[in-house]
Every structure is written in C-alpha cells, then in structure tokens.
A and B are shown apart, each in its own frame.
Chain A
Amino acid sequence: MSIQTGISRRLALAAGFGAMMGAAPAFAQAEIKLGAVLSVTGPASFLGDPEKRTLEMEVEALNAKGGLLGRKVRLIVYDDAGDANAARTFATRLLEEDKVTAMIGGSTTGTTLAMEAAFDDAKVPFISLAGAIQIVQPVKKWLFKTPHTDTMACEKIFEDMKKRGTVKIGMISGTDGFGKSMRDQCVGVAGKYGIEILHEENYGPRDTDMTPQLTNIKNKAGVQAVINPGFGQGPAIVTRNYRQLGIAVPLYQSHGVASKQFIDLAGPAAEGVRLPAAALLVADKLPDNDPQKKVVMQYSADYTKKTGQPVSTFGGHAYDGFHIWKQAVERAGTDNPAKVRDEIEKTKGYVGTGGVVNMSPTDHMGLDLSAFRMLEIRNGDWTLVQ
C-alpha cells in the first residue's frame, strides 16, 4: 500500500501541475500571445526586472489603445532566475503549452543560448535582450537581438582614443562574464584601430583593492590611456585607486558601468573618466535635432512615471524589442511566426532607445557605432563629448 501511496502521490503531483497548466483560456484565439523568459530574480535581476516592467507597461499601453491588428496582446512572462536550465524549460513551455507566436527575452547570454535551439526547432521568432556577439554571429535564422555588443563599445572607445592621438594603452579587466567577454572583444578589434595594448592586468569580481595591478600599469613606460572592461563595483574601485596613485593618463570605463550608481560609488575620482553609453542615459542632454531625442525622452518619462524608478538601458532593450516586434506584426498583417520573422529581418530605420536599427539577412542586430555616445563625467554628472 505504501509504495502505491508514494507513486500515487507522484501521479497526483503530475496531474496537479498538468491541470494548472492546461487551464488555457478558451478565448485564446483572439489574442496575440507574446512570450518572455526573463531573469526577474537572482543575480541578473538588474537586467530582468526593468525588462519585465517595460514589457508590461508597453503591452498595457498597447491594449488600452485597442491592441494590435484589432486583437489584444497577452504577455506571458516566466522568471528563470538566471538559470539556463530553467530558461530552457520555460522556453519549451511557452512554445508547447502557451503556443506563443513570438518571444522577447533571454536577459543573459547564457539563457539566450540555452533557449535558442527550442525556438529554432519550433520556428518562432526570438528577440534576445542579451549583449554577447555570439548571439547574432553567425546569424541564426530565428534569433535577433536589440542590445549593442561589447565589440561596439570597444570600437567606440578606440575611435575616441584615435581622435585624441592615443595608440599605446594599458588594460585592466574584471574576470566576471562581462569583463572577460569585453576584454576579448577589445583585444580582437584593437588592431583594426591601430591600438597597441602594452600591458594587461585583471581582478576578481569581489576584489576590494586594485592598487598593485594599477601600479604595474603606471610603471609601464609609454602607456597613453587605460581601459577598464568591468561590471559592478570593480570599476568604481579601479577609478578610486587610479586617482590615489595619481596616474595622469586618461581612464576609459565601459558601458557596463553607465549608471548613476557608478558616479556615486567612485565619487570625485570619477571626474574626467570617459565611457561609451546608450543615448537613453543622457536623454535630457541630447540636442533637439537628435533623431533619438523624442523616443528616449518619451520612454524615460513613461517608465519613471509608471514605476517610480530611473530608467536603465536594459529596460530600453526590452522597449526596442517590443516595438520592433510590434511593427513587424503590423507590416505582416498577421502574427504568423514565419511572416513576422521575415518582417523583423526587414526592419529599417527603426529609431529606438538603443539607436537606429537597420536589420538585414546578414545582420540580426542592425546597430552601428552611432548607437553609442561618448560621455565624460564632469562635476558628478554625464556630459556628451562632441
């Protein structure tokens, strides 16, 4: 009897979760179903949380205006907590159970790559919100992405260095996923801009003092600038140590620290630091004739009003993904996954928070270097470098 109890319990559990999931509403026909697997909690929640809020806000606004093609849009969000295995399960669930016709999400590169095959098999378009270049290189038929890549950030920095006549640089990078990836991308494109990396150092994501590494860079003769690919508190500590050591050459940070928090953490030491960032951060400082001015001001105001929190570029990626998908559905006149995919690929001149998007069969991101603005921190605030 007891064995049966254990087994029937297992069956009951299986039946229980089956019943909960099978409860799809009967009026589903009329709705357009949009799926989103995001890292709303866990270590990547700083990405997933604003993405989820943005998608919910945009879907609500769209439905209030009568929806898409006269149909309501239903957004189905699952939280993978940053776990690639969970993301893959939710991807299968979106496709098999919820029968979504498109997907926006994958907050991190790991979860995106874990889910990619599921959408490829099901032939459903998937717009990722993660950074790494592997997502769109090589091009995968059903996979797109909205954020700029780390390579582009490196290129923007090198472009600025060249303008200032800098050719020999030092580099100190974090060993976290972001720092590592960007370091590799920077090394990869340095040659293209004639930049020579004379000396390299790195630090762990939880290190609290980078003075020894920076001393090595300081002692290296001929270094004309230093670049710091990194994320979180590391770059703020690097910036403070950099000033304490009195290193005179310019310091470049990455788009990974493009938030007010960095200025607060680094304090006066941040003065004069340059970094590439999306237009969204400096919405109010953009000149009126800037093509992105209108969209970033609008999104920024809506988001702050709705959530009471400052905008982040990550929420902006979700905004862009949603509107690229929305416009593709409008052009296709249907939510048929294959037709929507073709239209997403034909996106031209979409002006979003991340830049102007021009996609093609060989470019599933569609951004160029103009997506980044070079910023300099002056008097504790961002200023645009002209």
Chain B
Amino acid sequence: MERLLRSRWALVLALAFVLAALPLVFPSNYYFRVAALVNIFALAAIGLNLLMGYAGQVSLGHAGFMGIGAYAVAIGASRFGLNGAVAMLAGAAIAGLLAFIVGRPILRLKGHYLAVATLGLGLLISMALTNEAGWTGGPDGMAVPRLELFGTRLRGPDTWYMITAGALVLGVILALNLIESPTGRAMRAIHDSEIAARVVGVDVAAYKLKIFVISAIYASIAGSLMAFLNGHITPDGTAGFLRSVELVTMVVLGGLGSVLGAIVGAAMLVILPQALTIFHEYEHLLLGLIIMASMILLPRGVIPSLLARLRGGGA
C-alpha cells in the first residue's frame, strides 16, 4: 500500500480514469462547466502548491498571473490576430518572466517578503487591467475570441472539459516529476530546514526562484483556459485579490505539499458554492462553517490529514 501511494503513476492513472469516466455520468452541460472550472482551478492550485508546500513561500497575488494568461489570449487574439494557442504560450512566457523579475531580488531574502511583494504585484496587475480600458475594455471586461485549432472552432463546456482535463493530467504529471527530480529533493530539503539545505550546498534562492516561475506559468495557463471557457473576462473575475485568496484557500484546504490535495481543494471551493445555493441566504455562512470545520478537523489539509489517519489506523 505504501508503495502504491508513493508511485506517482498510480495517482496519474487514477486521475485520468476519473476524468475520463465523469462525462458518462454528467447529465448536462452545466456539469461539464463546473467540472471544467474544477480542472482549471486545480491547475492553478497545483502550481501554487509547489510554491507554498515545497518552497514554503506564499504568493498573495497569484490571480494576477491568471489575469495575465486570461488577457493574453483575449488581447493577443483580438488585437494582434494571434492564434489562441500561441497567445496562451505568450501569456505563460510573460507571466514567467514577470515572476522571474519580481522573484529574483526578493527570494534572496528570508521570511515573508514574497507574500508582500506578490500582494502588491497582484493588485498592480488588477489595477492595470481595470484602468487600461483601451486595451482591456476596463472594469466591464472584454470578449475572448473562440480558440481555433486545425480549422475547428472550440466551443461548448463539454469540449472545454476535455481540454482542461487533458491540461490537468499534464500539469499533474509535470508537478509529480518535478517533485521527484533533484529540484524536488532540493525543495523538500529547503522546506525541512533552509540552513541544513544551504550547508549541504543547495542554492536556496535559485531553487525558490525556479519554483516561483513555474507556479506563475501554471496560473497563467489556468487563466488562459478560463478565458477560453468563459468567452468573456473581467479584471475582478480573473485577477482580483479575492481570487488570489481563493487560490491560497484551495491549497491550504486540500493540503500543503499534496498534488491531489490541490485538486480536492479546488473541487471543494468550486462545487460547494453551487451545491449550497439551496440554502439561499445561509450559503455563505455554511461555506465558511464547512471550511472552518475542515481546517479544525483536518488541520494539515484534507488529503495529508486523511492519509496520516489511514496510515495511523493501519499500523
């Protein structure tokens, strides 16, 4: 059992199986849409979890990178006539570059400087998207041209469910590989003890920067996918501060340092508001209570806490 748990391919296969099987039980496009949103937020949360769970750094402006990805495909396609897929890669490159520029000086310092810097960066991106109305359509947002691949226009939540599911599986594989690579081992060493890692010759700042850039790229891709799925984006909906907080909540709720945890956290925060609407005025109250209860009962996050309990129970 332990070996199965450690095998990354078991997780990937199980995830791929579930993602492929879900459409068989979905009765309508609405379910495809909600599931596609889960995939998208899970992707962003996995990236953020690499940063938070392994590098021990918090980014409070991660939605800003989602905003860059979202507006890259909207602006790239509508103003520069780029193919959506190309614009998506351009957005990822811009987000990665920005993360590199911001992270390079800051990640040399110890402590929570990155949290403050990313908070500012997120707000700045959100403000720029709101105020540069000539490019972005301002606070009311802008339309995103449909993605065309190989001569077919991709539309409909079912199509985007498939695409986002594919992206999620790919994202999970890359994240698991990264964790198992020398970089991942170095990251875990840093997370356990920064001083010890430094003593054995790990370039702490360089590894942190690498992870920060990777997590920004994850968020940017997620933002692009969300823009394609929605067909219309607004600054608050993609890059708003509350969106950043939501991403951090997903990671903490699902479990720091757990790829599956990020997926579960994203699923909870996307699905719960939909399921709780039957309680009308009390939906926000209940959502808060569920999150609080989950953090009290499963303090390390849903997945790590449950795993620990299972292991404890089995031994």
Contacts and interface: CB of A to CB of B under 8 A. Distances in A.
Contact of B11 (A3, A20, A21, A116): A3
A381 interface: no
A9 B278 CA distance: 21
Contact of A83 (B25, B236, B268, B284): B236
Interface string B253-277: 0000000100110011001011101
B177 interface: no
Contacts of A181: 138, 140
Interface in B158-203: none
Contacts of A83: 236-237
Nearest to A76: B277
Interface stretch (A84-92, A160-168, A296-304, A305-313): A84-92
A88 B28 contact: no
A153 interface: no
A129 to B, nearest CB: 14
Contact of A110 (B1, B141, B267, B271): B141
A6 B141 contact: no
B22 interface: yes
A93 B30 contact: yes
Interface string A347-386: 0000000000000000000000000000000000000000
Contacts of A96: 28-30
Contacts of B310: 1-2, 5
Contacts of A14: 22, 25, 35, 267, 271
Interface string A122-134: 0000000000101
A83 B5 CA distance: 38
Contacts of A245: none
Nearest to B140: A109
A327 interface: no
Given A18-B31, A89-B34, A92-B30, A84 B14 contact: no
B260 A85 contact: no
Interface in B76-129: none
Contact of A2 (B33, B133, B234, B306): B306
B267 A88 contact: no
A41 B139 CA distance: 18
B258 to A, nearest CB: 9
Contacts of A86: 273
Interface string B278-298: 100001100000000000000
B149 interface: no
Given A13-B268, A14-B271, A93-B274, A82 B236 contact: yes
B267 A177 contact: no
A114 B5 contact: no
Given A3-B14, A84-B236, A96-B28, A10 B140 contact: no
A114 B264 contact: no
A113 B140 contact: yes
B236 A5 contact: no
B10 interface: yes
Interface in B41-56: none
A323 interface: no
A2 B307 contact: yes
A22 interface: yes
Nearest to A41: B284
Nearest to B131: A175
A83 B30 CA distance: 17
| B contact face: mostly helix, strand, loop, or mixed | helix
B5 A84 contact: no
Contacts of B27: 18, 22
A96 B157 CA distance: 11
Contacts of A78: 277
A116 B232 contact: yes
A117 interface: yes
A110 B234 contact: yes
Contacts of A117: 231-232
Contacts of B303: 6
Contact of B1 (A1, A6, A88, A109): A1
Nearest to A134: B140
B4 interface: yes
Contacts of B263: 10
> Could you say which of B30, B226, B260, B303 has the most chain A C-beta atoms within 10 Å of its C-beta?
B30
Interface string B127-147: 000110100001111010000
B77 to A, nearest CB: 15
Interface string A168-185: 000000011100110010
B28 A97 contact: yes
A16 interface: yes
Nearest to A177: B139
Contact of A85 (B131, B143, B230): B230
B266 to A, nearest CB: 10
Q: Lowest 3 A-B CB distances belong to which pairs?
A: A177-B139, A96-B30, A17-B275
Interface of B: 1, 4-5, 10-11, 14-15, 18, 22, 25, 27-31, 33-35, 37, 130-131, 133, 138-141, 143, 157, 226, 230-234, 236-238, 260, 263-264, 267-268, 271, 273-275, 277-278, 283-284, 302-303, 306-307, 310-311
